[in-house]
Amino acid sequence: MKRAIPIFVVLAGLLVAIAVANPFFLEPAGFLAFLKRVAPLAILAAGQYFVIVSGEFDLSVGSLVTVEVVVAARLIDGDEAMTWPVLILLVVIGLLVGLVNGLVTTKLRVPSFITTLGAMLILSGAVFLWTGGAPRGALSQGFRVFGREGVWAVAILVVVVIAAVLLMRADFGRTLVAAGDNEKAARLSGVRVDRVRVFAFVLSGLSAAVAGILLGGFAGVSAQVGQSLEFQAITAVVLGGVVLGGGRGHVVAAIAGAFTLEALFTLLNLHGISGALEYAVQGVIIIAAVAVGGLRLPSLRLSPSKV
């Protein structure tokens, strides 16, 4: 947990900066609005964490989120009665895509970078084919309540965080980290590496389904809803000090990374840095971060403690 401390310091600093710029942030409604906005990315970061800590990537979550929202809108088409069946279907889609990603990566030995990049392209192409390029239909009010009502979004976020922490404390968590840290050693000591990795991908797919439900609820149907979310999720995870390549990092820190990223976006917006310049600022920060990470990495490798 030690390596997670910097991210909390940064997050606290950003939150103070936001509060200074916008005192409304300190009121319950203001903070709730922030939590509501963070929730989808935080959930995606949790899902991405499982995959990254096991030594893999999941690049498909962004287009999976888009698929979930577009499918939901088309199938619900404004009909309240369809809300729950479609919600269940969305979860199943998320689990299935994760399962396929996991099986292709572990059984067919396709590197996850390629597997999930392929999945990303297949999903975007499928959505394009099915919709003819633009989303159709509408989400029901019953569906939208999860993303629109702050209380719901926050409740779902809390459940996800607790579940993630419990999972990482269970045997699954230890074997997952072991698989990412040293695959051979893990195999020799009896860890079923493939099985935990497949499960990690399934969790990532599930997180994309939940994030899609929240994002669709937040702002309604859109074909761009998932755009670049996979990169935001990976950035968040790495911001939380989780090492790419696996084996090191804490899930709470990864979620804190998502909070930090969203807080940074909020702060930039509050200071009127918007549009294309926002990307430029992000780019500078990311390059700086990689440089800093490169400097830090060797000393991390020497440290004997793992998590």
Partner 1 sequence: MRRLLVAVAALALAAAGCASDLPPTGASAQPSAAPATSAAASAPASAGTGAQSDFFVQADYDAQLAMRSQTAEGPADKPWEQAIAPQMVDTAKYKKDGPYHLCFSNAAVNNPWRQVGWTTMQEEVALHKEIKEFTALDAEGKDDKQISDIAELQAKGCDALIISPNTTATLTPAVSGACPEVPVIVFDRGVETDCPVTFIKPIGGYAFGADGAEFLIEKVPAGGKILALRILPGVDVLETRWSAAKVAFDKSQLQVVGVEFTDGDAAKTKSIVSDYIARHGKIDGVWMDAGATAVAAIEAFEDAGVPVPAFVGEDQQDFLQKWKDGNLTAVAPTYPTYQWRTPIIAALKILKGEEVPKMWNLPQPKITQESLGTYLQPNMPLLHYALCGCESMPGFPGKWGGK
Site for partner 1 in 213-232 (CB under 8 A): 215, 218-225, 227, 231
Toward partner 1, which CB reaches closer, 163 or 277?
277
Position among 17, 103, 145, 165 found at the interface with partner 1 (CB under 8 A): 17
| Stretch in the footprint of partner 1 (CB under 8 A) among 14-22, 104-112, 151-159, 168-176 | 14-22
Tell me which amino acid residue 213 is: I
82 belongs to the binding site for partner 1 (CB under 8 A) = no
Q: Hey, which residues between 176 and 215 contact partner 1 (CB under 8 A)?
A: 215
Q: Binding to partner 1 by residue 10, rule CB under 8 A?
A: yes
> Tokens at residue 78, please?
């404004």
Residues binding partner 1: what is the number (CB under 8 A)?
A: 73
81 by Cβ neighbours in 10 Å (0-12 / 13-18 / 19+) ranks as: exposed
Q: Which of these ranges, 9-17, 79-87, 97-105, 176-184, lies near partner 1 under the rule CB under 8 A?
A: 9-17
Stretch touching partner 1 by CB under 8 A, among 25-33, 100-108, 155-163, 199-207: 25-33
Two structure tokens written together for 277: 């310049």
Cβ–Cβ < 8 Å for 191, 67: no
Residues numbered 254 to 273 that lie near partner 1 (CB under 8 A) are: 260-261, 264, 266-267, 269-273
Q: How far is CA 159 from the centre of its chain?
A: 15
Cβ proximity to partner 1: between 47 and 193 the closer is 47
